[in-house]
Amino acid sequence: MNEMNCIVSGASSGIGRDIVQYLLNREHNVLALARRGVLLGQIPMKKGLATLAVDLSEEESREKLKPILEDWEKVDLIINNAGQLINKSFIETQADEFKQQYTANVITAVNLIQAADPYLKEGSHIVNISSMGGFQGSSKYPGLSAYSSAKGALSILSECLAEEYKERGISVNALALGAVQTEMLEKAFPGYQAPLSSEQMAKYIADFAITSASFISGKVLPVSLANP
């Protein structure tokens, strides 16, 4: 398999961190992004790894990415894994908290994709990590109105971007994940045991991202054994 240049956001823990490890083990180049620089620094150094502590919710983050992207010259793969979840009833959720959820789960992806746009080439693949909570017709749960509606927005954005990038031969898809045992899930649903580990889901996401650009675009695909 040819070496690929891959960007993974939300890479400091959970699924994002495991995606980074999986891609590095297959000798791809990886730019791991996260707000928490201390945790990024704990990723074992391997050939091909670059890390950058950056807040993708800020438009200024685009400039911080430029030096690495200019050195790469092309980006083969983006996995927008950055996100945030709050579990709070709708009536108690403040407008600012809704904005925070949309910023963390949608605007982070917007800023990263726009920053990488000049370096995306024919055959590049953008994979946005959505949620079954944002998948139309799926079971919904009290307390997740802000998070689920934000992930729904990310899913629709993915479909829109597939049309935007079609003429350039760039594929865009979203994976709507069900329950995965991560730190974020544990905080939102204490005591709940998910059927899949972070490592298992990371492998699936990375393999899909690497192999599916030529076959699928503009799709929101459910990846779930259980929901939430």
Contact 77, 20 (CB under 8 A): no
Kindly give the residue spans of alpha helices, DSSP state H, lying in 41-172: 61-72, 95-102, 108-116, 145-165
Q: What is the pTM of this model?
A: 0.94
- Please compute, for residue 13, the number of CA atoms within 13 A of its CA located in the half-sphere on the CB side: 12
pLDDT single digits (tens) 78-117: 999 999 999 999 999 999 999 999 999 999 999 999 999 9
Domain presence at residue 79 = yes
Q: How many domains does the chain have?
A: 1
Averaged pLDDT for residues 3-11: 97
Reported as half-sphere exposure (CB side, CA atoms, 13 A), residue 33 has a value of 26
- pLDDT of 182 above 90: no
Reported as a single tens digit per residue, the pLDDT across 158-167 is 999 999 999 9
What does the pLDDT read at residue 179?
A: 77
pLDDT, averaged across the chain: 93
In-domain check, residue 147: yes
**Residue 32 lies in domain:** 5-223
Assess whether pLDDT exceeds 70 at residue 1. Answer: no
Lowest mean pLDDT among 32-41, 55-64, 156-165, 184-193: 184-193
Closest CA to 133 of 38, 12, 228, 211: 228
Report the alpha-carbon distance of residue 98 to residue 147 in Å, rounded: 8
- 228 lies in a domain? no
The residues, ordered by sequence, that sit 6+ positions from 227 with a Cβ below 8 Å of its Cβ are 132, 133, 138, 139, 178, 179
Least confident of 95-99, 149-153, 158-162, 175-179: 175-179
Please state, for a pLDDT cut of 70, what percent of the chain lies above it: 98
Q: What is the CATH number of the domain that holds 194?
A: 3.40.50.720
Check residue 181 and give its pLDDT. 81
Q: DSSP 3-state assignment of 51?
A: strand
pLDDT at 228 over 80: no
